[in-house]
């Protein structure tokens, strides 16, 4: 295999580049390109935090995509298709299948499955019933062989492995946070002196996904008002400060969190030395699991209604880690919440379900990915 082409429907960012281990692949001498299909799916919509790389190119139509595919030496090229398979991208998958492309897939998330009753209720709504029907047609296309299965899937933990068990080739790697945890283990330096807890901000008001997925806007004043009220209670009750691990790429006015210390790109380090973690559905909750820190899960009334996917992830975390979640809009929950004890067995189960495997836990994913791509054969 001589070349890797990454295909995505969103622009390249530092986070995506790191997650896909692109710089590490380039270092090996393998040719790399990143094909950005945002103008097909989100024409005219700007993306924040886009980075420019000489290996990145825009693809503006399916016709243009086909022209590029015709020029590629497909026998020596692997396509990393960073697009979840569902009805909106069926045309893309059909084209890749028709050209006989070798397709590799990195699952982006590893958890948060809907409960059966939630799935039933959702499908009773007209718009969700319509989308469910389209997804059913999409799945039938795959079963009929019109869309090929992935030639290789990189899986992080049992859940992703189970989700892709019908694929003939899977390779165990680590979720990106687990790799970062490994790399930070030998750093004894503290960022903050004194006692503190850390809030894992998921940017659910200003996150780019809100625009991309056309989510309902949260009332920012109400949402951050509830958060800061809760943080005030925490600081008084436990005589420590709350610091904020901000979502990547979001630049907050210092008044949003009432002047509290905020850090970007330092979540693992902050969690390592904190007393406990406050989270909603952030994937960075993984750092609390790995560092064996108590976790307080919180939400608001509006969050539960307008951020359904996030709320299901929160419910998943609650069930998987044996944690109670607290509605910070309710006085009763504010008065009765407690810092939970750590259930080591449940934390370890989460680690191997969502973050790593026995086979990969002592390696860095970049080494596994490079080895697998370099030796890729069908």
Domains of the chain (ranges plus CATH)?
Answer: 3-112+149-174+357-374 (3.40.50), 179-355 (3.40.50.2000)
**Residue 291 gets which letter from DSSP?**
T
- What are the backbone angles phi and psi of residue 272, rounded to the nearest 5°? -55, -40
Distance CA 208, CA 205 (A): 9
378 vs 53: which has the higher pLDDT: 53
Residue with tokens 């070798």: 102
Taking CA atoms, 18 is separated from 123, 285, 333, 368, in Å, by: 36, 19, 39, 15
Pairing mode of beta strands 77-81, 196-200: unpaired
Q: Look at residue 129 in the predicted model and tell me its pLDDT.
A: 60
295 forms beta bridges with 277
Task: Collect contacts of 85-89 with beta carbons under 8 A, ≥24 apart.
Answer: 85/138, 85/142, 85/147, 86/135, 86/138, 87/131, 87/134, 87/135, 87/137, 87/138, 88/41, 89/9, 89/41
Where are the extended beta strands (E) located within the chain?
3-8, 31-36, 56-58, 77-81, 102-105, 152-155, 170-172, 196-200, 241-246, 262-264, 277-279, 295-299, 325-327
Q: Look at residue 252 in the predicted model and tell me its pLDDT.
A: 84
Q: What is the mean pLDDT of the chain?
A: 86
286 vs 139: which has the higher pLDDT: 286
- Is residue 266 within 8 Å of 284, Cβ to Cβ? no
Structure tokens, 251: 């630049």
Q: pLDDT category, 345, cuts 50, 70, 90?
A: very high
**Residue 113 gets which letter from DSSP?**
P
Task: Kindly tell me if the per-residue pLDDT of 308 is higher than 60.
Answer: yes
Percent of the chain surpassing pLDDT 90: 57
Q: Look at residue 128 in the predicted model and tell me its pLDDT.
A: 59
117 vs 316: which has the higher pLDDT: 316
- Is residue 75 within 8 Å of 276, Cβ to Cβ? no
Percent of the chain surpassing pLDDT 70: 90
Distance CA 241, CA 234 (A): 8
What pTM does this model have? 0.86
- Is residue 227 within 8 Å of 260, Cβ to Cβ? no
Q: Look at residue 117 in the predicted model and tell me its pLDDT.
A: 34
78 forms beta bridges with 4, 102
Q: pLDDT category, 146, cuts 50, 70, 90?
A: confident
Taking CA atoms, 110 is separated from 44, 133, 303, 313, in Å, by: 31, 24, 21, 10
Q: pLDDT category, 19, cuts 50, 70, 90?
A: confident
């Amino acid at each position: 295999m001589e070349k890797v082409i990454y295909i995505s429907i969103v622009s390249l960012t530092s986070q995506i580049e790191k997650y896909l281990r692109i710089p590490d692949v380039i270092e090996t001498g393998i040719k790399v390109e990143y094909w950005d299909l945002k103008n097909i799916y989100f024409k005219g919509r700007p993306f924040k935090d886009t980075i420019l790389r000489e290996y990145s190119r825009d693809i503006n139509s399916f016709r243009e995509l086909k022209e590029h595919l015709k020029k590629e030496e497909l026998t020596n090229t692997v396509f990393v298709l960073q697009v979840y398979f569902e009805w909106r991208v069926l045309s893309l998958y059909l084209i890749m299948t028709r050209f006989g492309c070798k397709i590799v897939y990195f699952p982006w998330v590893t958890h948060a499955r809907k409960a059966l009753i939630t799935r039933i209720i959702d499908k009773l709504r007209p718009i969700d019933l319509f989308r469910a029907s389209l997804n059913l047609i999409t799945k039938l296309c795959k079963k009929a062989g019109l869309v090929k299965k992935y030639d290789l899937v990189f899986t992080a933990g049992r859940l992703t492995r189970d989700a892709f068990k019908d694929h003939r080739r899977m390779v165990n790697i680590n979720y990106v946070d687990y790799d970062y945890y490994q790399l930070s283990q030998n750093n004894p330096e503290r960022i903050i002196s004194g006692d503190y807890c850390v809030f894992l901000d998921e940017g659910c008001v200003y996150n780019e996904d809100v625009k991309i997925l056309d989510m309902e806007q949260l009332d920012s004043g109400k949402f951050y008002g509830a958060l800061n009220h809760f943080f005030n209670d925490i600081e008084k009750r436990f005589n420590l400060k709350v610091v904020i691990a901000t979502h990547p790429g979001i630049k907050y006015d210092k008044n949003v969190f009432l002047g509290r210390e905020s850090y970007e790109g330092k979540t693992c380090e902050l969690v390592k030395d904190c007393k406990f973690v406050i989270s909603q559905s952030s994937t960075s909750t993984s750092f609390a699991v790995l560092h064996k820190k108590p976790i307080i899960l919180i939400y608001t009334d509006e969050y539960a209604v307008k951020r359904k996917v996030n709320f299901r992830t929160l419910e998943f975390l609650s069930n998987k880690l044996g944690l109670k979640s607290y509605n910070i809009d309710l006085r009763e929950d504010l008065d009765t919440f407690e810092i939970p004890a750590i259930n080591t067995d449940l934390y370890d189960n989460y680690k191997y379900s969502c973050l790593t495997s026995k086979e990969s836990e002592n390696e860095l994913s970049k080494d596994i990915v490079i080895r697998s791509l370099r030796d890729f054969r069908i």
